[in-house]
Structure 1
Amino acid sequence: MTRILPRILHVLDHSLPVHSGYTFRTRAIMHAQAASGLDVAGITGLRHPEPGPREEEVDGLAFHRTNGVAKGPPGLREWREIGALARAIERVARDLKPDVLHAHSPALNGLAAIRAGRSLGIPVVYEIRAFWEDAAVENGTGRDQSLKYRLTRELENRAVAGVDAVFTICKGLREDLVARGHNGGKIGIMPNGVDLALFGEAAPRDDALAQELGLGEGPVIAFIGSFYPYEGIDDLIAAMPALVNAHPEAKLLLVGGGQEEAALKAQAAASTASDSIVFTGRVPHGEVPRYYALADIMAYPRKASRLTELVTPLKPLEAMAQDKLVAASDIGGHRELMTDGETGVLFAPDDPAALAASLAALIDRKDSWPAIRAAAKRHVAERHDWARNSQRYQDVYQALLAPGPNSGVASAAA
């Protein structure tokens, strides 16, 4: 007999205790599901980078590991990865007896879950957070339309075709899959969300920290995250001379690090606004709210590309939940999250002059800030609260487990 509340095994690339946007979304999903009464656990593949026991509990969540190393030339190595993870899923399933396998991108996880699901006789859900071939291009680890790019795309297509139901994190990804010829009837959307238990209350401003960083009275424009090329932090730095000319006390606070850090620091040092640009380096995850509290405006100047047009980021939603004004480039991933002039401000991408003008105009309209912040926080609570949105998963699980054809899977996730 099927349980009223199904047991779910999440199939993951990596998980806590590693800190990344991927693991934070997973944590939020699993916590929300557990709070709703579901029995949940996770299993990671061979790419989980943190050494540890085969089974461990992190932040109240149970994770199982796939041990070993996949060797061989490209293609064969990935095939062996899929096999190792599929066998590990079957091993764990003998004890947990899950009702549904819920795999999360990349496609290797989806294909392993398909193999295990067929052996176990249970349905498989596959969730796509980004197209990894596009992410590789933007991160500089891949080339557009290369053999690796096309093979990764084909693996994604096979995973989508082989599972019982698909989730994407946004409309852009779903529309791209439908354009490829995939059945839109089994593709639902689970938007990025915020755990309001963690991000629902803004921390008080730490004046001592502001003084230590030399921020003065501001206004403070901040970026908190990883320094990837597609984030457009170079455009933010390039915008600062014009912004400081309009608002001499303005400061730019850059919190984080990554592959562009050295180049960005060199660019800032050569800028006529160098005294107004502050780098903190990476900070512990638990300290991040202290830095959010220093910002008046959170800026997200992502560059226009296939990745950023299709994929919605998480950071702007966290900033809205923290009562921060959000200024973001006018790309598809941002337009899906916010409305210009209502819940934030959008500016032309890849254009430092437009960015500076938009920030200056927003600073000039301080009387509008409370209304924008309030509308943004309402938007997050109504559309992007994990405690509410996680019900969409359960609706799809129940549709898959119900007797008869599963024709209403996507509508259950709408």
Structure 2
Amino acid sequence: MRIAVVNNFFPPRVGGSAHMSASLAGEYAAAGHEVLAITAAYGDAPADEQRDGYRIVRLPAAKMPQLGLSIDFDLSFASLKPGNWRRLRRLLDEFKPDAVHLHGQFFDLSWLAGFYARRHKLPVLLTIHTLLISDNKLYSRVFRMLDAVLVKPVLKYIRPRYVILDKLGVDYCVERYGTSDANSEYFPIAVDTGNFAKPVTKDVRAELELGDGPVIVSLGHVIPLRNRLPLIEALPAILERHPGVRVVIVGRVYHDAFLKRAEELGVAEALVVTGAVPKEDVPAYFAAADIVTHDLNGGCGTASLEAMLSGTATIASVTEDNYPGIELRNGENILLVRPDDAQAVQETVLSLLDDPELRSRLAQRESAMVQANFGLDVVAEEHLRVFSKLVADHDVLR
């Protein structure tokens, strides 16, 4: 098959969506399929390159201003640059895809490639990565309006088969877009197990001068939806029992409420904020950690799953039925707390720091659970199975 993979986010940009789309593209190519990845320009990344067995084309893009919204990343939109629709159409005409894999339901490249696929009657998979939700009532109303007025009509025209990653996404897509079992696949986030099979060559503890005390790592961009506040609120009690604890926050800081709260609580000196780090360094940060806490506001994303895979005890905040078809058992193969519950974070962190054997046992079980259910090879095989069926059905209807 010839598969076009389209995502505004793509490495070297960091983030779960970027890494997942690139990893799946690499797996498709490794399985013998021809792959073209189309994305938005980012930094100094080349406009056209061959990597991991497939071609990547980065179209010129305009960076959007940050407005303080709950999904406030450094967004870039290619449709704002003249000529990109013609460029994309020409790329796809030359590539002649059998199927298209879109990542992200509200990005312009997904829409443009989706329009192309609909006009050429090509099968489309659309992975829903980010939900347009916010705790802020005003933003929530705006996001609902955008979903109803813009996103839903576009998706109705494109008619994709949806790939939904978790229960929250399922409920969201049913409510906002009218999805059902008839037009959806329920695949979890894909984790690149190979990235964690390599020896760790970077000594994070030495580089950051963390010493030999307990280290808590929280890796991922800091945004309102992942604000780190439950961990900061729990820190005074944690430091009282374990005064040598250091908390390493890894990722771009788009929302700094946690820093202000740390100052107010007198725990700022326990924090080390690194900013974003290269993907290849992520295993070294998990190796330096005794505990990983990232998804404490409701979630269990790529960073948390990678931490579990690495063999580090990891805390998340989803329900046991979060991933359709995957059995999570709190306290056995995963460790869960209620979202935004600082008291639960405090008690859970202290229980792990007080009992190294418990910490080690849980870490091993988490790693085995992720390996069996979220491994990139497992998830990619499921995607390719669906692509094969969609393409076969499409050929019959021709």
- 1:283 matched to 2:277: yes
The aligned counterpart of 2:193 is 196
What SS is found at the alignment partner of 2:100? strand
SS at structure 2 position matched to 1:226: coil
2:378 is aligned to 388
Change (3 A) 1:232 1:218: same
After superposition, give the CA deviation of every residue in 1:228-270 in whole Å (9 maximum; x if it has no partner): 1221312212211101222233322222331234x43343344
Distance 1:344-1:184 versus aligned 2 partners, 3 A rule: closer
Report the Cα distance in structure 1 between the residues aligned to 2:63 and 2:83, rounded to whole angstroms: 8
Q: Percent identity?
A: 24
Instruction: State the 1:322 CA deviation.
Output: 0.9
The amino acid that maps onto 2:179 is: H
Deviates more, 1:322-331 or 1:27-36: 322-331
Question: How far, CA to CA, are the matches of 1:361 and 1:205 in structure 2?
Answer: 29
In structure 2, relative to structure 1, the CA distance for the partners of 1:56 and 1:333 (3 Å cut) is: farther
Q: Which moved more, 1:162-171 or 1:24-33?
A: 162-171
Residue equivalent to 1:151: 146
Counterpart residue number, 1:241: 236
The reply to whether residue 299 of structure 1 matches residue 293 of structure 2 is yes
* Residue number in structure 2 paired with 1:169: 165
Unmatched segments (≥5 aa) in structure 1: 1-5, 72-77, 408-414
- Following superposition, the deviation at residue 10 of structure 1 comes to 1.2
CA distance in 2, matches of 1:210, 1:164: 46
Q: What corresponds to 1:410 in structure 2?
A: none
Single out whichever of 35-44 and 118-127 deviates more from structure 2.
Answer: 118-127
2:119 corresponds in structure 1 to 119
> For 1:182 and 1:406, how far apart are their aligned partners in 2?
25
- The answer to whether residue 93 in structure 2 is matched with residue 100 in structure 1 is no
Q: CA deviation at 1:204?
A: 7.0
Could you say what the CA RMSD is over the residues aligned between the two structures, in angstroms? 3.4
Partner-residue secondary structure (3-state), 2:102: strand
Quote the offset at 1:361 in angstroms.
1.5
TM-score normalised per structure 2: 0.83
2:212 to 217, 235, 248: 217
Q: SS at 1:361's partner residue?
A: helix
Aligned equivalents of 1:373 and 1:188: distance in 2? 29
Cα deviation digits, residues 11-30 of structure 1 (max 9, x gap)? 22132333332221111111
Matched, 1:314 2:314: no
Per-residue displacement from partner, 1:180-230 (whole Å, max 9, x unpaired)? 533421110221121111123563783xx4255343322211112212122
Distance of 2:292 and 2:395 partners within structure 1: 46
Q: How many residues align?
A: 380
Contact 1:12 1:103 in 2 (8 A): yes
> Contact (CA 8 Å) 1:11, 1:42: kept in 2 or not?
yes
Contact 1:342 1:375 in 2 (8 A): yes
Distance 2:94 2:137 in 1: 39
Superposition deviation, residue 69 in structure 1: 6.7
State the Cα deviation string for residues 44-68 of structure 1 (Å, max 9, x = none): 2xx5444666533345541224447
Q: Aligned residue for 2:365?
A: 375
Distance of aligned partners of 1:315 and 1:14 in 2 relative to their CA distance in 1, 3 Å threshold: closer
Deviations 1:349-392 (A, max 9, x none): 32322211111112223222232122111111110011121111
| Residue in structure 2 matching 1:399, options 381, 389, 392 | 389
**Aligned partners of 1:212, 1:252: CA distance in 2, in Å?**
15
Equivalent position SS for 1:298: strand
How far is 1:339 from its partner?
3.0
Give the AA of the match of 1:265. L
Q: Which residue in the other structure is 1:24 paired with? A: 19
Q: Is the 8 A contact 2:218 2:294 kept in 1?
A: yes
8 Å Cα contact 1:400/1:406 also seen in 2: no
Cα deviation for residue 298 of structure 1 reads 0.2
SS class of match (1:227) = coil
- Could you say which residue in structure 2 is the equivalent of 1:412? none
One-letter amino acid of the structure 2 residue matched with residue 193 of structure 1: A
Summarize the Cα distance change of 1:252–1:70 in structure 2 as closer, same or farther, 3 Å threshold: closer
> Is the contact made by 2:166 and 2:323 (CA closer than 8 Å) also made in structure 1?
no
User: Given that residues 325 and 373 in structure 1 are in contact (C-alpha distance below 8 angstroms), is that contact kept between their aligned partners in structure 2?
Assistant: yes
Contact 2:313 2:363 in 1 (8 A): yes
| Structure 1, 151-160 or 243-252: larger mean CA deviation | 151-160
Structure 1 residues 175 and 276: CA distance shift in structure 2, 3 A: closer
